[in-house]
Amino acid sequence: MTAPTGTTMVVAQARTEIVLALRNGEQVLVSLGIPLLVLVFFSTVEVLPLPEGVDQPVDFLAPGVLALTIMSTAMVSLGIGTGFERSYGVLKRLGATPLGRPRWVAAKILMVLAVQALALIAVGLAAIVLGWRPDAGVVALPVVVVAGTAAFAGIGLAMAGTLRGPATLAAANGLYLVLLLVGGMVIPLDSLPGGVEAVARLLPAAALSEVTGAVSTAGTTVPVGAAVVLAVWALGAPALAAATFRWE
């Protein structure tokens, strides 16, 4: 008998992770339900301020909600799911199998990307139905998705790897709400008070939504500042998670 290849194990693990994520109602609600609700509600009920030069709410909301979707899946869903797995000894048990940590991480990444792909397609289609017409530059979106996923997955796993399961749940949800409000996703950054806006621009949520907006909106170029902030988070947060993660 030959040993299962690393690929076989990663595929089996990733498939299980995806099944578990889609079976978990709370994770689906966070990954897909909340972004869709935000998009549909605020596109049809015009209560939010719009940035200058934008006529239709959906034109501003669509990229913001795509960014929100990434934050939902990569930070909240992954973070909470992994936090509870750690609390319940799932990661400890996997440590005594031939799977190994690198393949486990690879499977988690595949799970997040797969769930995100489903959620992003659903949100994108809904936005188009609501009248969103993205620029051709949107083909660059996968690069942005990868950067945003790295940043938020790093934050989610940093919490999951150091806090207890219920504490991860609370921290991830709390942080999610704060970043939703100051992330330029539903409320334009220039509507925020000056001090708050300055801080918000250094956080990954605002950087991600700005870059997403820039690549998907005609006649805009990607702001260098936001791109740099996003890149720093995309490299720094996973490094922090790797350095602090405790398996038991």
Partner 1 sequence: MVEDLVVRHGDVTAVDGLSFEADLGTVLAVLGPNGAGKTSTVETLEGYRRPADGSVSVLGLDPVRHHRQLVGRIGVMLQEGGIANGLRVEEAVRLFAAYYPDPLPVDDLIEQVGLADRRRATYRTLSGGEQQRLSLALALVGRPEVVFLDEPTSGVDPVGRQVIRSLVARLRADGVCVVLTTHDLDEVERLADQVLIIDGGRKLAEGTPATLRTAGAPAVRFVSTPGLDLAAMAKVCGVDATAVTTTGHGGYQVSGASDAAVVAALTSWLSNEGHPLDDLHVGGDRLEEVFLRLVGGASDAEDPAPSNGAPKTAGRRGRAGRRGRAGRRGRAGRRENQ
Give the binding site for partner 1 (CB under 8 A).
Answer: 1-4, 8-9, 12-13, 16, 19-20, 23-24, 84-85, 88-90, 92-93, 95-100, 248
Q: How far is the CB of 3 from partner 1 (least distance, A)?
A: 4
Nearest CB to partner 1, comparing residues 17 and 210: 17
Q: How far is the CB of 36 from partner 1 (least distance, A)?
A: 22
Q: How far is the CB of 103 from partner 1 (least distance, A)?
A: 9
- Residue 187 CA: distances (Å) to CA of 49, 173, 243: 7, 18, 34
Nearest CB to partner 1, comparing residues 92 and 164: 92
Q: How far is the CB of 5 from partner 1 (least distance, A)?
A: 10
- Residue 78 CA: distances (Å) to CA of 52, 115, 168: 35, 10, 11
Q: How far is the CB of 9 from partner 1 (least distance, A)?
A: 6
Q: Tokens standing for 238?
A: 């996973």
Those residues whose C-beta lies under 8 Å from the C-beta of residue 154, and which sit 6 or more positions away, are 233, 234, 236, 237, 238, 239, 240, 241
Give the C-alpha separation, 3 to 6, whole Å. Answer: 9
Give the C-alpha separation, 226 to 200, whole Å. Answer: 11
Nearest CB to partner 1, comparing residues 1 and 224: 1
Nearest CB to partner 1, comparing residues 89 and 142: 89
Nearest CB to partner 1, comparing residues 163 and 207: 163
Q: How far is the CB of 84 from partner 1 (least distance, A)?
A: 7
Four-point Cα dihedral 230, 236, 238, 244, nearest 10: -150
Nearest CB to partner 1, comparing residues 108 and 201: 108
Q: How far is the CB of 173 from partner 1 (least distance, A)?
A: 19
Give the C-alpha separation, 115 to 113, whole Å. Answer: 6
Per DSSP, 157 falls in state H
Nearest CB to partner 1, comparing residues 20 and 125: 20
Those residues whose C-beta lies under 8 Å from the C-beta of residue 45, and which sit 6 or more positions away, are none
Those residues whose C-beta lies under 8 Å from the C-beta of residue 21, and which sit 6 or more positions away, are 27, 28, 31, 77, 81, 111, 115
Type of residue numbered 136: A
